């Protein structure tokens, strides 16, 4: 009888012309599903070099995620006042989209939201054009002095409760996501030092964890309307004092309870650059999808990748599914990075030896390649 049923099923399948089984997935997809690079978007003049880098270096090494920091470097039609000089055009972005789509790379644009609205003495486009969105306008970026400084100025923040800020922000987020034809957006949201400031008439006295979680949730819900996922850096969700991780890599300003207040589909990019700290497990057991992120210490980066593979193997299927992979980060412009990278590849000492980001990416490429064998 069983044999008869099997024959019948085979005949039926043939009659219905069922599609052949999908080809087996790349073995590395099981070990480390997300293999990413987060880097500044290229300048227009670097487009050819950038696409060559993607095709020649990332594709053979099994990268499947590219997070591009665009910020104000795009020719926004919805808000031309917010673009920096010589921005990427829609046509430039389409070239990147085409390469990534052909090569199976998920492409995710980034604009820093909430924090990182200035750097040293430079105020970035949003607060330059809309100073009314500033969380604490009494602090002037032009008076910036090196950290630490009396005003605690690292980067400015916008006020998450300003009634007009999201109209502007969501215009550019939507336009960028449309241009990138993407199903995800990275909002940064790291190192937010100014939040719930005394001088803000809307935020003063409010719970900072609730303010942070409220902003994450608002952005997440906006993206979800178009089926897009939110990615953020994880540092504001970690308790800096208890963990000893410090006030950049984790939070000293009481935002960490937000980990229990945000939607569980927000993707956490868990960055640690000095040690392979094990907080990926913390995020995953809180129900959040997470990838470890490394930077310029090759040994630490390799350890983060190996740890992620090991965590996945020794976790329950539910937790393993959230421990998604590794994303390498580069924090200089693409041009200077590529120069260092090519020097390392050609076995020359990079000209800025204290920056080992190029060597670290070489190590990541080697580690991915070994995992794929």
Residues within the interface to Zn ion (CB under 5 A): 135, 159, 161, 200, 202-203
Q: How far is the CB of 161 from Zn ion (least distance, A)?
A: 5
> If residue 157 lies in a helix (H) or strand (E), which one and from where to where?
none
Q: Decide whether 135 or 235 has the Cβ nearer to Zn ion.
A: 135
Q: How far is the CB of 158 from Zn ion (least distance, A)?
A: 8
Q: How far is the CB of 268 from Zn ion (least distance, A)?
A: 24
DSSP labels, 276-323: ---HHHHHHHTT--EEEEE-S-HHHHHHHHHHHHHHHHTS-HHHHHHE
Q: How far is the CB of 202 from Zn ion (least distance, A)?
A: 4
Q: How far is the CB of 199 from Zn ion (least distance, A)?
A: 9
Closest Cα partner for 330 from 307, 304, 360, 365?
Answer: 360
Q: Decide whether 196 or 298 has the Cβ nearer to Zn ion.
A: 196
Q: Which two tokens stand for residue 170?
A: 């969501």
Q: How far is the CB of 153 from Zn ion (least distance, A)?
A: 16
Q: How far is the CB of 78 from Zn ion (least distance, A)?
A: 24
Q: How far is the CB of 159 from Zn ion (least distance, A)?
A: 3
Q: How far is the CB of 201 from Zn ion (least distance, A)?
A: 8
Q: Decide whether 134 or 277 has the Cβ nearer to Zn ion.
A: 134
Q: Decide whether 200 or 364 has the Cβ nearer to Zn ion.
A: 200
Q: Which two tokens stand for residue 163?
A: 């009634």
> End-to-end alpha-carbon separation of the chain, Å?
43
Q: Decide whether 138 or 373 has the Cβ nearer to Zn ion.
A: 138
Cα–Cα distance for residue pair 234/95, rounded to 1 Å: 30
Number of continuous H segments (helices) and E segments (strands) in the chain: 14, 10
Contact of 280 with 324, CB cutoff 8 Å = no
Alpha helices in 62-194 (DSSP H): 90-102, 125-129, 165-180
Cβ neighbours of residue 285 closer than 8 Å, sequence gap 6 or more: 319
| Four-residue CA torsion sign, 295, 299, 305, 310 | negative
Q: Decide whether 184 or 203 has the Cβ nearer to Zn ion.
A: 203
Q: Decide whether 27 or 152 has the Cβ nearer to Zn ion.
A: 152
* Peptide bond connecting 319 to the previous residue in cis, omega within 30 degrees of 0: no
Q: Which residues of 167-184 are buried (b: 16+ CB within 10 A; e: fewer)?
A: ebbbebbbbbbebbebeb
Residue given tokens 């990147």 in the structure block: 96
Q: Decide whether 133 or 334 has the Cβ nearer to Zn ion.
A: 133
Residue given tokens 């430079």 in the structure block: 122
Q: Decide whether 107 or 159 has the Cβ nearer to Zn ion.
A: 159
Cα–Cα distance for residue pair 139/152, rounded to 1 Å: 9
């Amino acid at each position: 009888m069983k044999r008869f049923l099997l024959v019948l099923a085979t005949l039926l399948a043939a009659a219905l012309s069922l599609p052949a089984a999908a080809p087996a997935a790349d073995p590395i997809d099981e070990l480390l599903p997300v293999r990413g690079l987060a880097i500044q978007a290229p300048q227009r003049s670097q487009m050819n070099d950038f696409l060559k880098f993607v095709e020649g270096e990332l594709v053979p090494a099994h990268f499947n995620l590219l997070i591009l920091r665009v910020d104000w470097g795009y020719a926004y039609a919805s808000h031309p006042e917010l673009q920096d000089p010589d921005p990427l055009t829609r046509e430039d972005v389409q070239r990147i989209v085409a390469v990534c789509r052909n090569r199976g790379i998920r492409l995710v644009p980034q604009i820093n939201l909430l924090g990182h609205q200035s750097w040293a003495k430079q105020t970035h486009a949003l607060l330059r054009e809309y100073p009314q969105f500033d969380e604490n306008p009494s602090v002037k970026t032009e008076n910036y002095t090196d950290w630490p400084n009396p005003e605690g100025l690292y980067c400015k923040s916008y006020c998450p409760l300003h009634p007009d800020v999201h109209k502007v922000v969501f215009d550019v987020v939507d336009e960028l996501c449309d241009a990138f034809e993407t199903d995800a957006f990275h909002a940064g949201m790291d190192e937010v030092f100014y939040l719930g400031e005394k001088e803000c008439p809307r935020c003063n006295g409010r719970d900072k964890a609730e303010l942070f979680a409220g902003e994450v949730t608002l952005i997440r819900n906006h993206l979800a309307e178009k089926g897009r996922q939110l990615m953020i850096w994880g540092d504001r969700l970690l308790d800096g004092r208890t963990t000893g991780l410090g006030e950049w890599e984790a939070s000293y300003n009481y935002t960490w309870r937000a980990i229990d207040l945000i939607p569980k589909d927000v993707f956490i990019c868990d960055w640690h650059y000095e040690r392979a700290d094990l907080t990926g497990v913390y995020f995953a057991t809180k129900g959040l999808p997470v990838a470890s992120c490394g930077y310029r210490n090759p040994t630490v980066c390799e350890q983060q990748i190996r740890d992620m593979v090991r965590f996945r193997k020794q976790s329950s299927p539910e937790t393993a599914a959230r421990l998604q992979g590794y994303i390498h980060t580069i924090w200089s412009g693409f041009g200077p990075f590529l120069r260092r990278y090519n020097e390392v590849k050609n076995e020359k000492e990079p000209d800025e030896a204290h920056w080992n980001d190029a060597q670290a990416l070489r190590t990541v490429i080697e580690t991915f390649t070994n995992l794929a064998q």
